[in-house]
């Protein structure tokens, strides 16, 4: 499975050593992103084990279409196809075939209640860049 790391701190630090330490969890790709909000820094990192969508556009950290949200995610959403179909009926568009994008889009629609709509095993962090809250 993939690996995720992150922090909220008063200063920016690189996640490269943490990402390197979990590379065995996701040898196919890795990435990180950093944000500065007033008096704190947020860093998110990910190592990827490509299973569902092998395209590099599904790599993480993954940003929503409107760039408001960023996610790092590890796990499997068993009902992601059904969830995606219901979101398409609500007017949402998708760029990838990844369960990551489905999870992030479902969060956009359902907010923190998204976990009530998920069947699976998972851990994730979603950062709302507009409100500056993870």
Sign of the C-alpha dihedral computed for residues 44, 115, 68 and 47 taken in this order = positive
Q: Which pair of structure tokens corresponds to residue 106? A: 């479902």
Coil, strand or helix: which one is 116?
helix
pLDDT (tens, 9 = 90+) of the chain, 134 residues, equals 788 999 999 999 999 999 889 888 877 888 999 999 988 999 999 998 776 766 777 778 999 999 999 999 999 999 999 999 999 999 999 999 999 999 999 999 999 999 999 999 999 999 999 988 77
Is CATH 3.30.479.30 what the domain over 3-128 is classified as, yes or no?
A: no
Q: What is the pTM of this model?
A: 0.90
Residues taking part in catalysis:
2
In the chain, domain spans: 3-128
CA angle 30–131–133, rounded 5-degree value = 50
Spell out the residues 6+ positions from residue 124 whose beta carbon is closer than 8 angstroms to its own. 4, 71, 72, 73, 74, 75, 103
């Amino acid at each position: 499975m993939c690996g995720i790391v992150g922090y909220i701190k008063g200063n920016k630090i690189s996640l490269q050593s943490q990402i390197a330490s979990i590379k065995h969890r996701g040898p196919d790709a890795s990435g990180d992103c950093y944000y500065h909000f007033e008096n704190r820094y947020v860093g998110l990192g990910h190592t990827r084990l490509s299973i569902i969508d092998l395209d590099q556009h599904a790599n993480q950290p993954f940003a929503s279409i409107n760039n408001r949200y960023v996610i790092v995610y590890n796990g499997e959403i068993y009902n992601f196809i059904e969830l995606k179909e219901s979101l398409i009926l609500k007017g949402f568009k998708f760029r990838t075939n990844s369960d990551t994008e489905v999870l992030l889009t479902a969060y956009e629609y359902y907010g923190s209640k998204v976990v009530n709509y998920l069947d699976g095993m998972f851990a994730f962090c979603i950062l709302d860049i507009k409100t500056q809250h993870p």
